[in-house]
């Protein structure tokens, strides 16, 4: 996600770090487990982005064609509902 959308990617990294920390504090995992999972995930993401960047970009464009009309329709409905509540 960091290669396609920097802000969202950073937000997701911070969220993942928080989840990892929580799992250690609750006692579900050891710190080494969380660090190893982060390392494996980072290497896998690097391989996918490096080797399959063209395919990932194609999939993102395809998913955007599907999701963008849905998101804009929801946004319009929310705006209409807000205007009608204001009177």
What digits encode the pLDDT tens for the residues 39-84?
999 999 888 888 888 887 888 899 999 998 888 889 888 888 888 8
What's the pLDDT at 62? 92
Torsion of CA 75, 77, 81, 84, to 10 degrees: 110
Domain assignments of the chain as residue spans, ordered by start? 6-86
Question: How far apart are alpha carbons 60 and 12 in whole angstroms?
Answer: 17
Cα angle, residue 40 at apex, residues 45 and 25 outer, rounded to 5°? 120
Distance of alpha carbon 53 from alpha carbon 35, whole angstroms = 25
Question: What is the rounded distance in angstroms from the CA atom of residue 25 to the CA atom of residue 35?
Answer: 14
């Amino acid at each position: 996600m960091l290669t396609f959308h920097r802000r969202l990617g950073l937000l997701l990294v911070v969220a993942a770090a928080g989840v990892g920390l929580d799992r250690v504090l609750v006692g579900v995992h050891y710190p080494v487990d969380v660090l190893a999972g982060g390392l494996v995930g980072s290497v896998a993401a690097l391989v996918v982005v490096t080797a399959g960047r063209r395919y990932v970009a194609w999939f993102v464009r395809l998913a955007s064609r599907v999701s963008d009309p849905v998101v804009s329709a929801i946004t319009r409905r929310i705006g209409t509902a807000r205007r009608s509540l204001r009177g």
